[in-house]
Amino acid sequence: MLRLSLYIVLLIIAMTEEGNHIIDLFCGAGGLSLGFEMANFKIDLAIELEENYYRAYRRNHSETLSLNKDITLLNCEEISDKYLKNKEIDGIIGG
């Protein structure tokens, strides 16, 4: 029931908001990204440390900018300036 309620809330937000731009941390093979894309969110950046999962993400979401990096070695300014080109982000998800 909680999952359905969360999905409905996200769907309502996605249908009413202009933005819906998010970053996916610990993106794995991209299942969470897929769910958010289905709810009309745009994944602007995905980050995964584990090489095998990163390659799977690239296959599953080839149109999404993705990084094979340790997030503890990145900072907000670098992500914003270098990878997002100062695009405004509405949220962060992670799995």
Pairing of strands 91-94, 21-25: parallel
| CATH number of the domain to which 61 belongs | 3.40.50.150
Give the CA dihedral 33, 14, 18, 83, nearest 10 degrees.
-10
What letter does residue 81 receive in the DSSP assignment?
I
Nearest partner of 23 among 60, 56, 71, 55, judged by Cα: 71
Specify the pLDDT at position 8. Answer: 64
Specify the pLDDT at position 95. Answer: 84
Q: How many domains does the chain have?
A: 1
Q: What pTM value is reported for the model?
A: 0.80
pLDDT at 14 over 80: no
Q: Which range marks the domain in which residue 31 is found?
A: 2-94
Q: Is the dihedral of CA 35, 13, 20, 24 positive or negative?
A: negative
